């Protein structure tokens, strides 16, 4: 998927890249990726003045996003995409600009730091991953109580730098994280990682069910738990004083798809 840009629009994007990209040096890959998207969306939407007016942003706030100093909320990115007339689902792709063409490439590792397992495996290289119902590990059982196992290649977990012994597999329920995670798809959770890194997807135990949500840290110390399907689901705000009560199962480090 690509979008050619010509004339003055191309020059504006190139000038913005020359101005803002030097400040991305030393920032992590996720922060650089978001800054690039904000920069491109700003120009596609008609420029800084139109964006700050339409979204009610402060000039400095928008510049901080483009410099990569801070990250916008997921909802802000969605509004930017709508203003720029870019399909919202493209926000999950890797973006790049080359010779007047904006490329939207499906990532090897989608947003949130998880990847889709390769379905072609060497049988001798497989290990079994248990379902999330290991009461010995202090985890509540899932319903139904049928034990689920997944055979995964050791090389896949090595690529993600996770310990297979900390992985549990859970079947996704519902479409709250669509299109990133589809209903019924196996998702793989690292129960050893519960630190709630900004932008990553985690599995939460909310009592009656398990939910996967993307984490957005706010400056006041609170959190937003974001569904990727914002057309049907609302973000959930967790106050700083309530973080201790949040039951984090672990980070979603891999997700498969049902074909």
| CATH number, domain with residue 208 | 2.10.109.10
Do 6 and 94 lie in one domain? The reply is yes
In this structure, is residue 118 part of a structural domain? Answer: no
Confidence (pTM)? 0.49
Do 58 and 157 lie in one domain? The reply is no
In this structure, is residue 19 part of a structural domain? Answer: yes
pLDDT at site 185: 81
* Total structural domains within the chain: 2
In this structure, is residue 111 part of a structural domain? Answer: no
Do 186 and 78 lie in one domain? The reply is no
pLDDT at site 92: 72
Q: Residue 36: give the domain boundaries.
A: 2-105
Last residue of a domain, one of 42, 76, 105: 105
In this structure, is residue 110 part of a structural domain? Answer: no
Do 98 and 130 lie in one domain? The reply is no
Do 238 and 135 lie in one domain? The reply is yes
E strand map for the chain: 2-4, 94-98, 101-105, 126-130, 149-153, 167-171, 186-190, 201-205, 210-217, 223-226, 236-238, 248-255
pLDDT at site 257: 59
Do 54 and 19 lie in one domain? The reply is yes
Which residue in 255, 181, 249 sits closest to 209, CA to CA? 249
CB 255 within 8 A of CB 185: yes
pLDDT at site 253: 85
In this structure, is residue 229 part of a structural domain? Answer: yes
Do 166 and 234 lie in one domain? The reply is yes
pLDDT at site 96: 86
Which SS3 state, helix, strand or coil, does residue 217 take? Answer: strand
Do 42 and 155 lie in one domain? The reply is no
Q: Which segments in the chain show pLDDT lower than 70?
A: 106-159, 256-259
């Amino acid at each position: 998927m690509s979008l050619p840009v010509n004339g003055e629009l191309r020059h504006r994007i190139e000038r913005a890249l020359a101005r803002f990209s030097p400040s991305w040096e030393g920032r992590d890959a996720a922060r650089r990726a978001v800054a690039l998207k904000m920069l491109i969306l700003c120009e596609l939407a008609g420029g800084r003045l139109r964006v700050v007016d339409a979204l009610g942003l402060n000039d400095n706030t928008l510049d901080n996003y483009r410099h990569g100093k801070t990250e916008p909320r997921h909802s802000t990115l969605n509004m930017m995409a709508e203003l720029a007339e870019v399909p919202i689902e493209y926000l999950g792709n890797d973006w790049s600009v080359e010779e007047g063409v904006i490329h939207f490439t499906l990532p090897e590792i989608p947003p949130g730091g998880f990847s889709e397992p390769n379905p072609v495996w060497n049988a001798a290289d497989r290990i079994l991953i248990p379902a999330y119902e290991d009461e010995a590990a202090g985890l509540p059982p899932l319903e139904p109580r049928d034990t689920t196992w997944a055979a995964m290649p050791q090389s896949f977990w090595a690529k993600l730098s996770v310990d297979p012994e900390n992985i549990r597999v859970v079947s996704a329920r519902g479409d709250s994280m669509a299109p990133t995670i589809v209903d019924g798809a196996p998702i793989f959770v690292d129960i050893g990682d519960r630190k709630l890194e900004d932008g990553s997807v985690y599995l939460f135990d909310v009592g009656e069910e398990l939910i996967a949500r993307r984490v957005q840290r706010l400056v006041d110390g609170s959190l937003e738990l974001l569904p990727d399907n914002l057309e049907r689901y609302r973000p959930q705000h967790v106050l700083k004083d309530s973080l201790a009560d949040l039951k984090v199962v672990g980070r979603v480090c891999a997700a498969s798809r049902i074909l």
